[in-house]
């Protein structure tokens, strides 16, 4: 089976706290899913500028028996439909269903999901950007070897910024939200 070659411009996005509002109770149904203002426009702009968008997300609520994989797939189908209706496109979604004690290689900050995405879609990780709102997102991107990391201040971003500073691990850019992150990504990719 031949693998599909995709654009060298790839953005990995965390989901909760970046695209949609996060919840300490998890997002267990479509009715609990709420886009963060500007995230639909950000994804549209990335899509229109030739970026391939892949979501990389921890979803331990599956192994916590809070939802089924089918429930999660429904949320993702609805999310992708809304994104598409606003002019954006999500190429693929990779999720880790595990809880921390499972000690898997796909739960962020481990880089397994990025490696899976890179293998499936022939992504050059060294040219990719990762946008997230947590220390796990930035550490995952660094562990995988992504070229750029962007921390958004939505979701857990404010707390993550302090933790990252204490660890002396600095993202390449700190953005107010995904739309601000997109402006930076487009600027650094201008010829």
Give the catalytic positions in this structure.
14, 16
Asked if residue 42 lies in contact with residue 89, where contact means CB atoms within 8 angstroms, the answer is no
Cis peptide before 145 (omega within 30 of 0): no
Distances (CA, A) of 62 to 12, 30, 85, 117, 119: 22, 15, 28, 20, 24
Q: How many CB atoms lie within 10 A of CB 33?
A: 19
Phi, psi of 149 (to 5 degrees): -125, 140
Distances (CA, A) of 174 to 132, 134, 181: 10, 11, 8
Residue 17, by phi and psi: left (phi above 0), alpha (psi -120 to 50) or beta? Answer: left
């Amino acid at each position: 089976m031949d693998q599909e070659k995709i654009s060298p411009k790839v953005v990995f996005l965390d989901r909760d706290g970046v695209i949609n509002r996060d919840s300490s109770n998890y997002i267990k149904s479509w009715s609990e899913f709420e886009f963060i203002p500007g995230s639909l426009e950000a994804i549209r702009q990335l899509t229109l500028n030739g970026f391939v968008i892949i979501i990389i997300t921890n979803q331990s609520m599956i192994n916590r028996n809070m939802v089924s994989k089918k429930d999660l797939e429904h949320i993702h189908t609805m999310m992708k439909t809304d994104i598409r209706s606003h002019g954006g496109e999500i190429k693929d979604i990779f999720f880790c269903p595990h809880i921390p004690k499972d000690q898997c290689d796909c739960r962020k900050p481990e880089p397994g999901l990025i490696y899976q995405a890179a293998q499936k879609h022939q992504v050059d990780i060294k040219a990719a950007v990762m946008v997230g709102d947590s220390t796990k997102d930035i550490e995952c991107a660094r562990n995988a070897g992504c070229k750029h990391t962007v921390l958004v201040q939505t979701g857990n971003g404010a707390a993550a910024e302090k933790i990252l500073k204490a660890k002396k691990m600095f993202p390449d850019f700190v953005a107010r939200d995904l739309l601000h992150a997109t402006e930076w990504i487009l600027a650094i990719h201008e010829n």
